[in-house]
Copies of this chain bind each other. A is one copy, B any other.
Amino acid sequence: MGDAPLPMADAHSLDALTEALRRLPGVGLKSAARMAFHLLQHDRAGALQLSTTLAQAVEQVRYCGLCHTFTESEVCSTCLDTRRDRTQLCVVETPADQAALERTGAYKGLYFVLMGKLSPLDGIGPHDIGLQKLFDRLGGAELSLQGEVFPAVKEVILATNFTAEGEATAHVIAQALRATDIRVTRLSRGVPVGSELEYVDLGTIAHALVDRRSAAG
């Protein structure tokens, strides 16, 4: 009783669909029920398309061997782009953050996508994000992959979000690289503190790239 369940007559597959939709981030019980109703009543073609694309994405999407972002190849096209400066590596939390930086047009180096951030409160430690893979990437000198040569990285630009977790993640990376010859910089504080890159206007991001500062380490 009360406000909890929305039993959908005796359509068990509909209940199962509603349950599955609830696993999407930001989707509660009523949203899930509305989504299921919409798909079955108004957009069965969309439901089948979503079903197919989900299965295909799970099967085909893997991680770039070099930058750890989502790709369908061994190495993503951004890493293989010969016009990019392979001695610069910009570290971001997610592909969406990378896309935000790309849209500024102000950066021509390579990226490393952590696919998360350190967040002890959520139980996310160094082993749950791509930190070790980043250190492996930086540890080697010259790399050869897919017939391409990747020289040793000379500068790491920390572009994790300017939130508590993002700052902590940047701090851990800067500390770990302290003993190396790699120059470690951080996006300038032009980015408003407490906000997330994905939502910052492009001019601010471009400015922060130009004004990047030496990391405290």
Contact = CB atoms under 8 A, between A and B. Distances in A.
B51 A55 contact: yes
B53 A24 contact: no
Contacts of A57: 11, 13-14, 16-17, 36, 39-40, 47
- Chain A's interface size range is 35 or more
A37 B52 CA distance: 17
Interface stretch (A66-74, A137-145, A169-177, A187-195): A66-74
Interface in A24-51: 24-26, 30-31, 33-41, 43-44, 46-51
A94 interface: yes
B49 A23 contact: yes
Report which residue of A23, A37, A43, A59 has the largest number of chain B beta carbons within 10 angstroms of its beta carbon. A23
A21 interface: yes
Interface of A: 1-2, 5-14, 16-17, 19-21, 23-26, 30-31, 33-41, 43-44, 46-61, 64, 69-73, 76-78, 94-96, 98-99, 102-103, 115-116, 198, 202
